[in-house]
Amino acid sequence: MKRIIASAALIIAGICTHQTFAQATPQIKAHQVNQKARIREGVKSGELNKNEAERLRMEQARIQAEKKASKADGVVTPSEHHEIRKDQKKASKDIYNQKHDAQVKP
């Protein structure tokens, strides 16, 4: 009887974990929102020109597509989550570098 209860508990824990990974992207979403705002602010302040902004927006779109593909099967695995976060960190550095390059503001 104890084995059945223990097995059921493990199955329930596995299902809950499965569902958690499927919906465990609020941190990723928050980073996307923040990065899009940084790009908008860079354009507004003149730190980013239209070409730079477009390249950065395309990078954000690729990350969004990667996130969507990861969620397509209902589960964002830890490795998929790590890969998305790695791409977001690179995008963040790209935004910083483009906003602080030696380009002269018009």
Per-residue pLDDT of 18-76, as tens digits, reads 554 455 588 999 999 999 999 999 999 999 999 999 999 999 999 999 999 999 999 99
DSSP for the chain, written as a single string: -HHHHHHHHHHHHHHHHHHHHHT--HHHHHHHHHHHHHHHHHHHHTSS-HHHHHHHHHHHHHHHHHHHHHHTTS---HHHHHHHHHHHHHHHHHHHHHHTSSPPP-
Indicate the pTM of the whole model.
Answer: 0.74
Structure token digits, residue 60: 């954000």
Residues 33, 39, 42, 44: what is their CA dihedral angle, to the nearest 10 degrees? -80
Give the dihedral of Cα atoms 94, 95, 101, 103; nearest 10 deg. 120
Confidence grade of residue 16 (pLDDT, cut at 50, 70, 90) = low
* All structural domains of the chain with their residue ranges: 2-99
